[in-house]
Chain A
């Protein structure tokens, strides 16, 4: 059984319909010593990808795929790297994207797939002026 209800799927499909740029969701999971959340993350991503043919899921092994791990600077799993037509968007999700995190995942996919950033023009100006590495970590819980 899917994690999304048929009604959720229909709503989500509509949300994702504006995507014009291919989006790759690179999922790192651990085969050993990992938690069940890796499987949940995989199921969620596959369900989302099934709703729009521009979205694909690429699976990587956190332990074995060391080159990709280094490339995307992944230090924990499960991790989801969001690519826009193969280019790193620098948006990452760690842990299974359930509950409120799921909203963040969908928003990130839409940004990657449309190249439209829904922020105030003044905010955009501030962000574009950032000239040093800035690492933002947002902690949340599923509920």
Chain B
């Protein structure tokens, strides 16, 4: 996603290594995605569903 647009930054974080950060974002299961500190996406989703949620696009 980051490669598609220069406004996007994507971090892959190893949760057990950065426990403080994992606690901050209440990572109790993986994968868990946080977008702009506010949007939380639990688990792995199909591509389009994931991007729609990440970008806060309305449901189809």
A139 contacts B30, C-beta separation under 8 Å: yes
Assess whether B4 is in contact with A124, with CB atoms less than 8 Å apart: yes
Contacts of A136 in B (CB 8 A): 1-2, 8-11, 33-35, 54
Residues in B neighbouring A130, C-beta threshold 8 A:
5, 7-8, 55
- The total of interchain contacts (Cβ-Cβ below 8 angstroms) comes to 137
In the complex, how many residues of chain A place their beta carbon closer than 8 angstroms to a beta carbon of chain B? 39
Q: Is B36 a contact partner of A139 (Cβ separation < 8 A)?
A: no
Q: Footprint of B on A, CB under 8 Å?
A: 35, 37, 76, 89-97, 101, 104, 111-112, 115, 117, 119-120, 122-124, 126-128, 130-142
- Residues of chain B within 8 A of A117, CB atoms compared: 3-4
- In the bound complex, what is the Cα–Cα distance between A94 and B5 (angstroms)? 21
Bound Cα distance from A93 to B18, whole angstroms: 12
Q: Please tell me if the beta carbons of B11 and A112 are within 8 angstroms of each other in the complex.
A: no
Contact with A along B24-49 (1 / 0, CB 8 A): 01010011111111000000000110
> Does A126 lie within 8 Å of B57, measured CB to CB?
yes
Across-interface contacts of A91 in B (CB, < 8 A)? 2-3, 10, 12
22 contacts between A and B (CB under 8 A): A76-B18, A90-B9, A91-B12, A93-B12, A94-B12, A96-B14, A97-B14, A101-B14, A120-B47, A122-B48, A127-B1, A127-B8, A134-B54, A135-B36, A136-B35, A137-B11, A137-B13, A139-B22, A139-B25, A139-B27, A139-B30, A140-B14
